[in-house]
Amino acid sequence: MAPVIAIRDIADHVGEDVTVRGWVYNKTGKGKLAFVLLRDGTGILNCVAFKPNLDEHEFDRADKATQESSVIVTGTVRKDERAKGIPGGYELDIKTFEVLQATQDYPIGPKEHGTEFLMDNRHLWLRSSRQWAILRIRATIVATLRNWLDSNGYLLVDTPIITPAAGEETTTLFELDYFGEPAYLAQTGQLYNEANMMAFGKVYCFGPTFRAEKSKTRRHLIEFWMLEPEMAFFSLEDLMDTEEQMITAVVQRVLELHRPELELLERDVTKMESIVSPFPRISYDDAIERLKTLREQTDDPEQKELLKIEWGEDFGSPHETALTGLFDRPVFVYHYPSAVKAFYMQPVEGRPEVCRSVDLLAPEGYGEITGGSERIWDAELIDQRVSTIGISRDAYAWYLDLRRFGSVPHAGFGLGLERTVAWICGLQHVRETIPYARMLNRKYP
Ligand code: 4AD
Ligand code: MG
């Protein structure tokens, strides 16, 4: 009996008989030849049935195979430079072709479909090669981030999803009825990370986070995954060093493992190859000046309108796009106005109108992929800030404790996984970066 193999290992079996189990990705043919493109989740393999070499039924089954039928195919592996597939360069000469379930009327064909249709059929769309490529890259990004943290002295400490308090703006809270009391879905694991950091030094959490954001942009999800490291005794500069190392490690790893996927996505890899340290670091003040200059330089009236900004305002996506256009790698923007940032951010000494915050903006218009800061560690100031949130101070009693029992300067950041995946894969919209997107108008499937 031929051994069952994964398509990804095809190169190890040239000249041997093997069995591959999977689904028909596509079928073409001509006369005595039938070509079945078979996918098994690990790759795509072109399988060739040649009528004179086969029992009639075997040939017919291959020749009549419909898209997304589940099949078990046995044959001989042949090397052929021209063969398309992932990995390319191998074909299978079919000997037997068994159909487990013959699919009829598979809704997603080779023709163009609208995005809403594809999103409605997301449970099936996941099988297509672009989605396959994106989600494999996503998995590598997650693994690389976690490996980097695990091997650099960080401890994974999980944080709760149901919380009694808000970590970010109260306007984007999802409220739950927690046995008669209000509770919320976590917008961030940060506040708990701060407690965990005091117990373990350097920690991180990684999980789904929720924002009831009425934004319908290509960067916003209602449910997204965030990786959040939090470190005792870290400064803003330490934070930027760390982010830079993590991001370059991720980009390198994706380039190392996923050339075929990036090619499939038509990603311009030269843009990824230039992602090396150091990343530029500019202050918010400097960013505002640069935006003013860009605005003066443009002749496009629409652009002039879009780039309008006054000191004190937060950047919109046109501003981020214009700023990142100045660099070939991600850029750190630090010391934002305190008024546009979260309650817990440490004010800059002698200049409390700005805070020790830093956002990392990805190139090519991808915008903010991480947000972080030094945290207020003074008991009185944090108490004052907590009372402005608009949620009972009781819910934060534990958080205030952290500033009473061995408070230390500390810092942390959150990396938005989906925005990072969108940037690395070169996608227009975050909806394809997560298996099942939750958006303003979508919770199905
Ligand atoms: O800037 P944010 O809101 O920061 C925090 O939540 C901090 N508590 C993190 C921390 O310091 N531990 O979110 C961090 C990142 C953003 O830079 C962005 O990449 C992503 O999370 N993000 C979103 N991604 C998709 N959809 C949304 N609605 C997002 N909101 C934030
Ligand atoms: Mg932010």
Which residue's C-alpha comes closest to atom 27 of ligand 1?
220
Q: Which domains does the chain have, with CATH numbers?
A: 7-101 (2.40.50.140), 123-432 (3.30.930.10)
Ligand 2 geometric centre to CA of 87 (Å): 39
CA-CA distances (angstroms) from residue 370 to 240, 367, 428?
10, 9, 18
Which residue's C-alpha comes closest to atom 22 of ligand 1?
416
Per-residue pLDDT of the chain (445 residues; tens, 9 = 90+): 899 999 999 999 999 999 999 999 999 999 999 999 999 999 999 999 999 999 989 999 999 999 999 999 999 999 999 999 999 999 999 999 999 999 999 999 988 999 999 999 999 999 999 999 999 999 999 999 999 999 999 999 999 999 999 999 999 999 999 999 999 999 999 999 999 999 999 999 999 999 999 988 999 999 999 999 999 999 999 999 999 999 999 999 999 999 999 999 999 999 999 999 999 999 999 999 999 999 999 999 999 999 999 999 999 999 999 999 999 999 999 999 999 999 999 999 999 999 999 999 999 999 999 999 999 999 999 999 999 999 999 999 999 999 999 999 999 999 999 999 999 999 999 999 999 999 999 999 9
Quick one: tokens of 279? 């990343």
Q: Whose CA is closest to 367, among 402, 318, 314?
A: 318
Q: What is the distance between the alpha carbons of residues 198 and 411, in angstroms, rounded to a whole number?
A: 12
Global pTM reads 0.97
Q: How many CB atoms lie within 10 A of CB 161?
A: 13
Laid out side by side, the sheet with 410-416 consists of 155-156, 202-210, 223-232, 410-416, 367-374, 357-362, 331-334, 281-283
Q: Note the ligand closest to the C-alpha atom of 187.
A: 1
Pocket of ligand 1 (CB under 6 A): 167-168, 188, 190, 211, 213, 220-221, 224, 226, 228, 368-372, 412-414, 416, 418-419, 430
Phi, psi of 229 (to 5 degrees): -85, 150
Q: What is the distance between the alpha carbons of residues 175 and 440, in angstroms, rounded to a whole number?
A: 16
Ligand 1 geometric centre to CA of 293 (Å): 29
Q: Note the ligand closest to the C-alpha atom of 356.
A: 1
CB 190 within 8 A of CB 171: no
Which residue's C-alpha comes closest to atom 20 of ligand 1?
416
Q: Whose CA is closest to 219, among 115, 109, 87, 317?
A: 317
